[in-house]
Structure formats: structure tokens, C-alpha cells
Structure 1
Amino acid sequence: MLCFKAAVFVIFLSLLPLVAPSGAYIAFNAFITRSLHLNMGSKVNVVYGGVYYNYGNAYNRHTGVFTAPSNGLYVFSWASVVEPKKMFDSEILLNGKRTGLGNCNNLKGRGYENCSRTYPLVLKAGDRVNIRTVGANNLIAYWSSFSGWKV
């Protein structure tokens, strides 16, 4: 019986985008499709080109920028996985200005390191949010992600 309930729930989730009113949900979950090997001194806007979902189409997979379609409280989270002896320090930008920092320093590590940050932001329609490196030389594909949703 448990398998049947799980199957029904999975089917429900897969149909949700088809039955939800247009614009009812604003949420995205994107990931890195190629591991990044970066110059430590340069600031780079991170483009999370793979997309699991993008309800409301507010996230641009080509630029890595989320544009708020309406005023409200949004939550953003990003996860960074780095190789041993590498780091990925980053910042979350609101309209090009830093609103928070993320640190994933694995310079002394022997194994992979997984780090994450979450920030709530009050946005106005048209505000733009993205992740940029501060000091980074590595980010692992598929395991590193950026997501956001309207509360």
C-alpha cells in the first residue's frame, strides 16, 4: 500500500505544473553542468545552467540571474561542493550589490567539502539576484546548486 501511495504522490507532483494556475508558484532549482576551475583573483557571475524546475520562469539559465516577477519575501539557497585543496567563497547579489556571503574553504581538506548558505530577501518586482565568486578556484558539477522561491 505504501508503494501505491508513493506512486500517486509522484504522479501528483508531476502534474502540478499542468494544473496550477499560471503564475501561482515562483520557485527554481538549478545546478552547475560543468565543473568550474577558476582564477582565484577574479570575480565571476556563476551560471547554474542545468534546471530541475523553474516555476514562473523567473530564473535565467543562460545568465544565472533570478528576476523577481512580483514584490514579496523570497528565500535563496546555494550549495557548493569543492575538491580537496580548493575553495569557493561567494556572495549573493541583489541588483549588483552584496547582500550576503558564502564560504566553502577546503584548502586544508583531504576529501570533498559541501557547504551551503540560505538568505531571505524582500524583493520588488524587477529586482535581480545572482551568485558571484569572491575568492574561488573550484566548483563541482551537478552537486553545486542555486535555488529560490517566493514565500
Structure 2
Amino acid sequence: MGWYHINIVLLFLTCYNVEVQGTSNGQRTDTDVSGGVDDIREGTELRLLVSSLLERQERQETRLRQLERTVSGHVEDLRRKDVRIGLLERELHDLKEASNPTIGHVTKHLSNVSTTNVNPYPQEYSGNPDTPKQVPAGHPDGSVPTKSIRLAPVDPSGPNAFSASLTTSLNLHPGLIMVFDHVLLDTDSSYNTGDGVYQVPVSGVYVFTWISTGETEDFIFLELIVNGSPRAATTSDTYMGGSWDSATGLVLVHVSAGDHVSIRSAASGRVRSVPHQTTPMFSGWRIA
């Protein structure tokens, strides 16, 4: 486009020079001399104007090329964003499909979770199906810890077993739910290290066992409770300073899916946990 304008200007200047040259070859008068000076002046101004126009045209073309490069860069950015959006949409679709199998199980699980508050010493479980399941209180202020929601599907034919240990010594008081903070085995992700509650994944007959060692002269009374109701208990008696006394409990219990099982203290004392010496444990597994 620039070369086209330059050729026109050169053609114009050539014709103008020919005309001036022809005039100079003829007979000159004073009028002709005066006119020639004016023509030279006009020619100089014309050249300056043409030069200015050519410079402006060049700047416009440079600006146009810059705009074309900018637009091209924006188009490429939009193309990359479209590709990224497509990948994110496919990932979201895959996540939705992966989560669909667990929706039914979560709904059933939520229907079994109770939010009923109880005192540290609830009444015996009546066995009446109309009686709501109770969650044992595990804090001195009587607040009920929140039970986590299990998202993994449960295999009814699986082993349905768990085992957890206490990694540090623990001071007890009446009504305290012992929280065994280290999970050794949990086939159904049913034991909660936040509140010490095992939520039964499948109805059946279960074996529950627990072991503890007392390190003070206080009696250590521990109970296995199901939905806030005691089912079995153990006592350890450290009768001399510096000695320890251990106790182990084992019981068979028929429980239903969604029942809450935990170990509760009925008195004050201190349970000892020392690596390679003694480790409090809480375990259970379904046998039928």
C-alpha cells in the first residue's frame, strides 16, 4: 500500500520537473523569472507535504501491523481458554459419575444418624424400636461430639472389623468417652478418631474387646456402651504406688446398622499408654 502511494508521488514529481525544464528551455521574461521562483517555492512545499503524508502513512501501517499482532494474540488466548474449559467440563462430568454410586448409601447412612442429646448416665436401652438411638456425651459440658459421615460403600459380606489404640496417657472422669486416636484397622471407615465412636456398618453379632492399664491408685471403671446403654464393664485396681494394673473386656453383642458403640469411663483415674510397655486398645468385628 505504501509503495503504491510512493509511485504516484514520483510520477507527479517527474511530470512537474519535465514541465519546469520545458519552461526553462524557452525565452524567459521578467514575469517568467518571477513565476519560476514561485513554482520552485510551491514545489518545495509540495515535496514537504508529500513527505509528511508518506511518514504518516508509514506510521499508520506500523500501527495497523501492531493491532493485527495484538488481535492474533487475543484469538490464540481465547482458543486456549476454550480448550481448558472443555477439559474442566469433562473432569466435572467424570466426578459426578464417580459420586453417583455413593448417593444411595449416604442417604441411608444419614437416616441412621441420631442427634439426640443425653446425660453422662443414660437409662438402660429399652429395646423399643420407637425409642431413638442415643449418642453418648463425651465432653464435660455435656455437648455431643459430631459423628463423621462414612462415604465409602459397605460390603455386607466383608469382615466388618476395626481396631484402634490410644497413643498417649489419658486422665479420666465420669462420663468421658475414651477416644482411641490411632486406627490400626478399619475395613469400613466406621471408627471416628474425633469422638471415639464406632458406627456399626452392618447388622449382626459382633465381638467387642478393650484393654486398659491404670497407673494411679484410683479404680479404673470402663464400660462398653451401645447407643448410650452399658453392655459390659471392666475394673482395674492399682493398690500400691508405682504399680500398674490392667484389665481386658470381651463381649458378644447383637447390634444394628447405624448403632453407636464406644468405651466410657465411670470414674476418675489415669489410663497409661507407653510405647513398648502398655497400649490401651478398642477393637471389634462381626461374626454373624
TM range (shorter): 0.7 to 0.9
Identity of aligned residues (%): 27
Matched, 1:121 2:259: no
Counterpart-to-counterpart distance in 1, 2:221 and 2:247: 10
TM-superposed CA distance for 1:141, in Å, is: 2.1
8 Å CA contact 2:164–2:281 kept in 1: the answer is yes
Deviation per residue, 1:56-113 (Å, 9 max, x gap): 1121111111111111000100000111524321111110111111111213465221
Correspondence for 2:170 among 22, 28, 36: 36
Look up the equivalent residue of 1:144 and give its one-letter code: P
Matched, 1:66 2:198: yes
Cα-Cα RMSD: 1.7
| More strand as a share of residues | 1
TM-score, normalised on structure 2? 0.42
Residue aligned with 2:175, SS: coil
Counterpart-to-counterpart distance in 2, 1:94 and 1:37: 23
User: Counterparts of 1:35-114 in structure 2 under 5 Å?
Assistant: 35-39=169-173, 42-108=174-240, 110-114=242-246
Correspondence for 2:271 among 133, 139, 143: 139
Larger-gyration structure (1/2): 2
Residue aligned with 1:135, SS: coil
8 Å CA contact 1:106–1:113 kept in 2: the answer is yes
1:33–1:102 distance in 2 versus 1, CA, 3 Å: same
Look up the equivalent residue of 2:238 and give its one-letter code: N
Look up the equivalent residue of 2:270 and give its one-letter code: N
Matched, 1:148 2:148: no
Q: Return structure 1 stretches of 4+ with deviation > 6 angstroms.
A: none
Counterpart-to-counterpart distance in 1, 2:199 and 2:172: 26
Higher deviation after alignment, 93-102 or 77-86: 77-86
Counterpart-to-counterpart distance in 2, 1:97 and 1:105: 24
Look up the equivalent residue of 1:37 and give its one-letter code: N
Counterpart-to-counterpart distance in 1, 2:268 and 2:251: 20
8 Å CA contact 2:216–2:269 kept in 1: the answer is no
8 Å CA contact 1:31–1:141 kept in 2: the answer is no
TM-score, normalised on structure 1? 0.77
8 Å CA contact 2:216–2:270 kept in 1: the answer is no
Higher deviation after alignment, 135-144 or 125-134: 135-144
Gaps of 5+ in 2: 1-153
Counterpart-to-counterpart distance in 2, 1:99 and 1:32: 21
Q: Whose relative contact order is higher, 1 or 2, with alpha carbons under 8 Å and at least 6 apart?
A: 1
| More helix as a share of residues | 2
Look up the equivalent residue of 1:34 and give its one-letter code: T
8 Å CA contact 1:89–1:103 kept in 2: the answer is yes
Gaps of 5+ in 1: 1-21
